[in-house]
Every structure is written in structure tokens, then in C-alpha cells.
Amino acid sequence: MKSMSLLLAAAFILASCSKKDNPTNNDLFVGTYKGKISYVKEGENKSTDDGKVTVVKVGSNYNFVFSDAIPDLTGVQFKADGDNAVVSVDDNSAQIIRLTASTLLMAYTKDGAVWTANCTR
């Protein structure tokens, strides 16, 4: 009986670990990243070398909550980019967010505002 229980447990664990795991479907990237952040919009220019960006997943979209009175960036969609990374799927090739478990690189333009981040965790 013990052997059968161990075999069932092992089978369950192996079945739940898939090499085809899509990083956009899990919470690997959720958390706080620290580093250089900035925001520029007509009449506003905010920047710090010691900022924080908290990544929050809402459904299939991600929200980026910035420190230092920088407005949040919300509703960003991603696609898998291999090696446990995701990149934004915006049609504008001048905009990029690359997100891994340990780094956040961002240069994103929306509604006349520009967000940048070069952060780690």
C-alpha cells in the first residue's frame, strides 16, 4: 500500500511539472523589482536610481505599480519569450518590457507618457 501511494504521489508531481509551462500563465514575475525608474510626460519629469516597481498580475494582464509618485502602468499583455521571460505584445516596436524572474527592463510609451525601468530583484 505504501509503495502504491508513493508511486501515485510521484506520478502526480511529475505530471504537474511540464516543460511546456508558459511563463505568462504563472506568477513567476509577480513581485517587487528595485532599481532605476523614470517617467516623462509634458510638464512632468520624475526619475530615481533607487525606485521600486511592483508587478501585479490581473487575469492575463500585468500592472506595474511604481514608487516615487510615478503613475502606474496597467493592462499590459505579454507573450512568452523562452528562457522563462516575457515581452510585451504591443504593436509598437518602439515599446518594450522584458520581464524575467530577476530583471525588469522597460521603455514604454502610452498616451504621450514614457516609463522606463532597469530593475532587479
CA 70, CA 78: separation in Å to the nearest integer?
22
pLDDT top residue among 23 and 90? 90
Specify if 14 maps to a domain.
Answer: no
Query: What is the span of the domain harbouring residue 104?
Result: 23-120
pTM greater than the 0.85 cutoff: no
Collapsing DSSP to helix, strand or coil, 55 comes out as strand
d(CA 90, CA 96) in angstroms, rounded, equals: 8
- Tell me whether residue 2 is in a domain: no
- In sign, the C-alpha dihedral spanning 106, 56, 42, 45 is negative
- Residue-wise pLDDT for 101-116, tens only, equals 899 999 888 888 999 9
85 in any annotated domain: yes
**16 falls within a domain:** no
50-96 pLDDT, tens digit per residue, is 999 999 988 878 899 999 999 999 988 776 656 555 566 565 545 77
List pLDDT tens digits, range 35-55: 999 999 999 999 999 999 999
Phi, psi torsion values for 102, nearest 5 degrees = -120, -10
| CB-count exposure of residue 99 (10 Å: 0-12, 13-18, 19+) | buried
Question: For residue 8, is it within any domain?
Answer: no
The total of structural domains in the chain comes to 1
Q: What is the CATH number of the domain that holds 77?
A: 2.30.29
105 domain-assigned: yes
Q: Does 62 map to a domain?
A: yes
Structural domain contains residue 39: yes
Q: Cα–Cα distance between 65 and 100 in angstroms, integer?
A: 17
